[in-house]
Amino acid sequence: MMAGQCEAAGFAVVSPGEAADVLVVQSCAVTHAAEHEAFRVIRRLRRRVPSPIIVVTGCVTALHDEARFRDEGADIVVPQLGKERMADIIRASTAFPPLGGRDATDAVVPRFFTTRASVKIQDGCDFRCAYCIVPDTRGASVSRPLAAILAEATAVAARHREIVLTGVNVAAYRRPEATFFDVVRQVLAIPSVGRLRLSSIEPGHGEREIARLMADAPRLCRMLHYPLQSGDDGVLRLMRRRYTVAEYCDALEDMLGVVPAVGLGTDVITGFPGETDAAFDNTRKIVERYPFSNLHVFPYSERPGTPAATLPGSVPIAVRRERAAILSALGETKRRAFAQSFIGTSVDVLVEKWSAPTDQWPEGRSCGWTSEYLEATLSGHHPIGDIVSFTPRSLSAIT
């Protein structure tokens, strides 16, 4: 969206690696390491010659005053709530002359550098999980007007075959005129949308209804990211999650009954304060039981400013990492098993790149992602951005 604003205002958006007059750093504060990385990036960019104008925005701007960023080398600080005026702030804060561009009443079309386009439908979160800083940096959940979402989706669908509905907590979308399910149905009703993908759905927020939509709507990707975080009720309570293991599993089994071949993703944190060997074993058993094809495992990292950072029962870092390695290895095995189940079955692939002919691939090869979020490799040159059907014959073609 920021790139689209700047382009509409008359700036030229350059490719990665090209010289630029203005560099925008979009910072992340989800972990302490990510916060420090933002400052490292600013310092590294400050050393460039010729010196660019450095703009910093994103979640880290909510945690420090403007002077801290200027001390690190930033020229302009744009807070979270100012990102919608990014182009105007840059022009007002620099010597750049008026560049013409769009009328103030025109809608901005986001500028994407990938084959799929994201449409943000909400921001912020009201959940206050013990390990998460996001509510402090992004505030309470706020949902965009349905009309704005549909207009943006229509505009980006003219350039991109796949749209991803995104947000901090998309299933928390609520407006007087629409629910989350209304958004999904109405975006699917746009004729130019090739297929629609959803970002993470929190347990207890309409996941069963989403599964039924997947079963009935071929253009809704068969991929559900459904965060677990822990398979132990005691740890879930410490995390301040809003469900029990039994509730999670009951919903999951219901969804798998409706869409058996769904690509199933989840997040797991290992070594959270108070996680005993027995608690970790409970998590491992849940991961073993269900067909997760995209397992995102994170060793717990203390995040200053969150309730979890002061909890007793700290788990040694080496143990956190060891547990994460065990689950990651299990996740790889389960992903291969899931991919194996599609061999000999026709799948739809969004083509994202093409490689020139080699001895192994004399016709060249095209690579992309299936509806279930498996990476696929096809022989031949297929147009980037197209959705094509093919039948994988081995694991070398789908992983």
**Average pLDDT of the residues in 333-337:** 96
pLDDT of residue 314: 97
My answer on whether omega of the bond before 50 falls inside 30° of 0, hence cis, is yes
**Average pLDDT of the residues in 17-44:** 92
Identify the helix (H) or strand (E) that includes residue 299.
Answer: strand 292-299
pLDDT of residue 258: 96
pTM value > 0.75: yes
Report domain 2-92's class: alpha beta
Per-residue pLDDT at 105 exceeds 50 = no
pLDDT of residue 101: 53
Q: Residue 156's Cα: distance from chain center in Å? A: 18
**Both tokens assigned to 26:** 């979009």
Q: Are 226 and 201 in contact (CB under 8 A)?
A: yes
Residue 236, classified by CB atoms within 10 Å of its CB into exposed (0-12), middle (13-18) or buried (19+), is buried
Alpha carbons 265 and 7: distance in angstroms, whole number: 35
Q: At what angle do helices 277-289 and 317-340 cross, to 10 degrees?
A: 10
Per-residue pLDDT at 326 exceeds 50 = yes
Residue 346 binned pLDDT confidence (cut-offs 50, 70, 90): very high
**Average pLDDT of the residues in 66-75:** 94
398 DSSP 8-state letter: B
Alpha carbons 234 and 43: distance in angstroms, whole number: 42
Residue 104 binned pLDDT confidence (cut-offs 50, 70, 90): very low
Which has more pLDDT, 308 or 114? 308
* 2-92 and 116-340 in the same fold: no
CA angle 201, 206, 208 (to 5 degrees): 100
Which has more pLDDT, 341 or 5? 341
**Average pLDDT of the residues in 8-32:** 89
Name the residue ranges covered by the structural domains of the chain. 2-92, 116-340, 347-390
| Percent of the chain as helix, strand, coil, to the nearest 5 | 35, 20, 45
Per-residue pLDDT at 7 exceeds 90 = no
**Average pLDDT of the residues in 207-226:** 95
Residue 357 binned pLDDT confidence (cut-offs 50, 70, 90): confident
CATH topology of domain 116-340: pyruvate-formate lyase- activating enzyme (3.80.30)
pLDDT of residue 18: 86
Mean confidence (pLDDT) of the chain: 92
Pairing of strands 195-198, 178-179: unpaired
Q: What is the pLDDT of residues 120-154, one digit of tens each?
A: 999 999 999 999 999 999 889 999 999 999 999 99
229 DSSP 8-state letter: B
